[in-house]
Every structure is written in structure tokens, then in C-alpha cells.
């Protein structure tokens, strides 16, 4: 079971990573659960590419953050976990809507945590992006 | 041999992707060559994570752009090439300095282009990030 | 809905890729469904690493094949689809048991198909390996 | 500088991983050097796919082994280093020839080693496959 609630994680991010809200509040933790978390990225015109599509880097930042939040919720506010690997498949053009990212942890070891993230345009059934990633967890 | 010069590519990005300069000019094409390109990302405090390190998403955006520029320089201003896959290994904490990204194309096919990108903190010998990526090229 | 049954796919593999059975029958198609397939890899001592673990290459071959089978079942016996990208996270040591690989397609486009594969040791709840991959589909 | 010679590494593999020679001697260490190694995979008809191309799993096994050998040569015969992540881009059809894999380590940390591997058909200039991978190194 997670050791932090959704509110705990939000407060931690607010305090430790205020820069993720640079330019306006964008990322929200929707839920945390056993080995999982869901994040939302609010639609904002500064994420937009020509043709109206949300940029790849916006989706990559969201996936990295969803993975971090899922790990944080399970192990508590360690702060120093660092991403070692991220892999993305870009599947479809996202619409001009919020993005929702569902993260599921595949492994939560002593030294490494691995998870996958599926990103949807809000209200759509088919994913726009799929990611897998690894975090290195500092000795506790 | 490339069909666009460094200046051609800069002018194309300026015209087609003005939003990459959102918040201040950050990305510069340093050089293009046969199957390669080098990009620079100017150090800016909005890229910084607690502890002074440059954020992962900043490096990911830089790698994606370096790959795009390398492809564009070889095939001309097609605009609609899209990233299908990106994979990153984060190797070391970047310093509070510019980042320099060297891209080398491994394959430039009719439908797919594949390349690798190595990112350094300016003046350092050991890379901070390594990426590989694939772009899908529209029928011409 | 798939256009080939489990039996169709087995017969196709038998005819076109007899070498996957080199050294003894190992791979079996368990099921195919809409955007998915399940494969089994029979335990055999030639797959074993010191300490009794099944080798990484055995799991990689299984994931690649599961993805191929999932695509084949949806689009029919095209034969010439080729793997362009595969990414693996090795999560736990597999036991001395059969491996079961579940593939789910994330995208089935005209030119590219993308899927993810989760591999389990038979009877275990936690995955031993997770893979994502892309196939390039020839013009039809 | 490496702490094992080419001959040391060959003898270690022979003793600890005899099963990589299952079905006939295939893999040879060509050279080891500072943060690098080169392996050869002898052409053998059991690696062949319809149309004469060498199979993906053969290349994947070669890349994994080249990375292991490069790490082993630098840190000595630890044996228990395990692959945590491998990512492959398949670039061209290999010819009916030996494969040569060049591995370069990008990072050799206390807990993780990361490297890239480029695989060529012997005598060809353009790579057939590119891989990146991570090994977890046991506490020493």
C-alpha cells in the first residue's frame, strides 16, 4: 500500500519542485494507489506544436513525473530518486485537450524501480504515447 | 551531403517552430554535416532542478530537436517528419552550463530515419545523456 | 477482430519460420485476440544460465515473436513485416518453468505497428520482463 | 585501463558461461580496451531467417554479450552483473557473413554501467543494428 496520499504527494511536489509550475500550474496528481499513479497535464497553448498537436517534450515531462509520483507514493518522500532510463513510443497526435497519464510500477526494488506509463488525450480510448522508465533509488 | 546549410535550418525552425523559443531564445544549431548535426541549449534558470541540475525534459527536448535538425539538413524542409520513438539513458548530473548535443544518423531510409544523440555539459568530456530516436518520414 | 485464428498463425510459423523450432519445439501460440496474442516458451535446459535462470536472449526472442504473432493475427500472413525497434526491461530472475508472454498492440497503423509484451514465469504474478517494440509493415 | 586481457575474458566466459557455445562455438572476444570491447559472432546457418538474413535474437544476444564483456574487462570477474535494460534499433538486413559488435561504455558507476553497441556485417560500413544497455553491478 502507498505510504503517501494524493495530497501528501502534491504538497511534496509543491515544496520541492516549484519549477514544474513555471509559467502556470500545469501538472496535477489525480490519484495514487498500490504500485500506480495517475497525473493530468492541463492543456495550454505553450505546449502546442504547429497543427495544434501537443509537443513531445510535454508528454515526456508528464511521463517522467507520473513515474516519479508513483514511486514517491510507495516509498515516501526520498527526494533524491533519479531517472536513469526513459523510452517512448509516440502513437498518435494528441488532441487540443488535457493529457492523462496512467503509471503502473512493474518493479519496486531496493535499488531500482521500473514502470510503464500510458498517456491519453482526455476522453479518448486510444493512447497517444507509451513510456517505460527506470529510477535509481538512493540507499535508505 | 546535406541539402540545407546551418543558416537554412535555423531560418526554417524560426519560421515553423517559433514556440521552441518560448520564454527566451534557448536552442541554436551549431553545425550540420553529412549524416550529423550539433545543437546547443543555452543555460537558463528555468531549466534547473533543485540542486542546480538541468532537468531531464530539457535534455529530452534538446535530443529530439538535434535529431530533427540532422534529418532536416539531409532531406530538406519537409516539416512533417514525426518522432515515433525516443530512448534515453541519463548518465550524470549536468553542470550549470550550456548543453551541447551531437547527433549522428545511423540510417536515413525512405520511411524511417534513426539516429543517436550524445549530450555533454559544455567543456566536459563525459556525456550527461545519450539518446536514440526514430523519425517517420512522410512520402515525398 | 483478428483475421487469422490461433491455428492459422501456428501453421504459418511452421511453414515460414521452421528454424524457430531448431533444437526442439519451444514456442507455442496460446491465443490470439483483438489487438493481442499470448505465446508460451517451453522450459528447456539449453535456455538456462548459471544459477538456473532463463537467459535474456530467450526472453527477447519470445517477446519479438509474441509481437509478430499479434500483428500477423490482425493483418494476415504478410510475412515481410520487420522489427525496427525493441526495448526491454529485465525485472526479476525467471524460475525454472515455462515463460508466458502477453502482447497487447498499442497501435496498428498502415506503416508501423507498436506493442508491449509482459513476460511471466508460469504461475507467478510478478512479471520477469517487459518489452515494447515496433514493426514496419510493408505496403499492401 | 582494463583489469582483464582479452584472453582472461575468453577464459572466464568459457568457464562460467559454457552454454553460449551450445550448438558450436559462435562468439569470440576480438579485443578489449579502456571502456570498450569488440566481439565477433561467426556466421552459422542456424542463425538464419528466411531470405538469408541473420535473426534479430542472434544480434540481441551478441549485443548483450559485448556489453557484458566490456564491463567485465574493466571491473574484473564479478560474474553477477545483470542486464536491467536493453534497447535495439534494427537498421539493415545483415548479410550472410560474420557479425562484428563494437561496444563503448558511456558510464561505469558503482551501481550501474551503461554502454552502446554498434553491430556491422563484416566488411560493411553501415551498421545493421544499434543497441544501448544497462547492467546493474553488485556491491563489491
The DSSP result for B31-92, as a single string, is EEETTEEEEEE---GGGBPTTSPBPHHHHHHHHHHHHHHHHHHHH------EEEEEEEEE-S
pLDDT digits (tens, 9 = 90+) for C25-50: 789 999 999 999 999 999 876 666 65
Q: Where are the domains of chain A?
A: 6-136
Give ipTM to 2 decimals: 0.93
**Dihedral over alpha carbons B133, C64, C79, B109 (to 10 degrees):** 10
Residue D56, all three cell numbers:
534479430
Task: Please tell me the predicted confidence (pLDDT) of residue A125.
Answer: 94
- Mean pLDDT, chain A, integer: 90
Query: For the whole model, what pTM was predicted?
Result: 0.94
* Distance in angstroms (rounded) separating the CA atoms of residues C38 and B39: 44
- Mean pLDDT, chain B, integer: 90
- Give the residue from chain D lying closest to A113, CA to CA: D84
Task: Please tell me the predicted confidence (pLDDT) of residue A35.
Answer: 98
Exposed, middle or buried by CB within 10 Å (0-12, 13-18, 19+), for B80?
A: exposed
When pLDDT is cut at 50, 70 and 90, the band that residue B55 belongs to is confident
- Does pLDDT of A6 surpass 90? yes
pLDDT digits (tens, 9 = 90+) for C56-101: 988 999 999 999 999 999 999 876 789 999 999 999 999 889 999 9
Burial D38-61 (b: 16+ CB within 10 A, else e): bbbbebeeebbbeeebbbbbbbbb
pLDDT digits (tens, 9 = 90+) for D73-123: 999 987 678 999 999 999 999 988 999 999 999 999 999 999 999 999 999
Which residues, including other chains, have CB under 8 Å from residue A7's CB and lie 6 or more apart?
Answer: none
Element (H or E) spanning C54, and its range?
Answer: none
Mean pLDDT check: name the lowest of B21-30, B113-122, D25-34.
B21-30
When pLDDT is cut at 50, 70 and 90, the band that residue B48 belongs to is low
Instruction: Judge whether C59 and C43 are in contact, CB under 8 Å.
Output: no
- Does pLDDT of B74 surpass 70? yes
Task: Please give the span between the terminal C-alpha atoms of chain C, in angstroms, as a whole number.
Answer: 19
Nearest to A17 among B22, B46, B50 (CB): B50
- Give the residue from chain D lying closest to B120, CA to CA: D106
Rounded mean pLDDT of B13-42? 87
How far is the CA of C112 from the CAs of B134, C48, C70, C138, in angstroms? 12, 34, 13, 9
- Does pLDDT of C114 surpass 90? yes
Task: Please tell me the predicted confidence (pLDDT) of residue B52.
Answer: 64
Give D110→chain C minimum CA distance, Å. Answer: 19
Task: Please tell me the predicted confidence (pLDDT) of residue D30.
Answer: 97
Judged by a CB distance cut-off of 8 A, whether residue D64 touches chain C is yes
pLDDT digits (tens, 9 = 90+) for A56-105: 988 999 999 999 999 999 999 876 789 999 999 999 999 889 999 999 99
Judged by a CB distance cut-off of 8 A, whether residue D83 touches chain B is no
Q: Do B57 and A61 touch (CB under 8 A)?
A: yes
- Mean pLDDT, chain C, integer: 90
Task: Please tell me the predicted confidence (pLDDT) of residue B47.
Answer: 63
Residue B75, all three cell numbers:
532531406
Q: Which chains touch C (3 or more CB pairs under 8 A)?
A: A, B, D
Burial A71-101 (b: 16+ CB within 10 A, else e): bbbbbeeeeebebbbbbbbbbbebbeebbbb
pLDDT digits (tens, 9 = 90+) for D34-82: 999 999 999 876 666 656 678 898 899 999 999 999 999 999 987 678 9
- Does pLDDT of D24 surpass 90? no
Superfamily covering domain A6-136? Hotdog Thioesterase (3.10.129.10)
Amino acid at each position: 500500500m502507498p505510504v503517501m496520499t494524493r495530497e501528501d504527494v502534491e504538497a511534496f511536489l509543491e515544496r520541492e519542485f516549484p519549477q514544474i509550475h513555471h509559467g502556470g500550474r500545469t501538472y496535477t496528481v489525480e490519484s495514487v494507489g498500490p504500485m500506480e499513479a495517475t497525473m493530468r497535464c492541463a492543456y495550454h497553448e505553450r505546449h502546442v506544436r504547429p497543427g495544434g498537436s501537443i509537443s513531445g517534450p510535454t508528454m515526456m515531462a508528464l511521463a517522467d513525473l507520473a513515474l516519479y509520483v508513483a514511486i514517491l507514493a510507495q516509498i515516501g518522500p526520498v527526494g533524491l530518486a533519479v531517472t536513469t532510463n526513459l523510452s517512448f513510443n509516440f502513437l498518435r497526435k494528441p488532441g487540443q485537450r488535457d493529457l492523462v497519464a496512467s503509471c503502473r510500477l512493474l518493479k519496486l526494488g531496493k535499488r531500482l524501480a521500473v514502470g510503464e506509463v500510458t498517456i491519453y488525450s482526455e476522453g479518448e480510448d486510444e493512447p497517444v504515447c507509451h513510456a517505460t522508465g527506470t529510477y535509481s533509488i538512493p540507499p535508505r
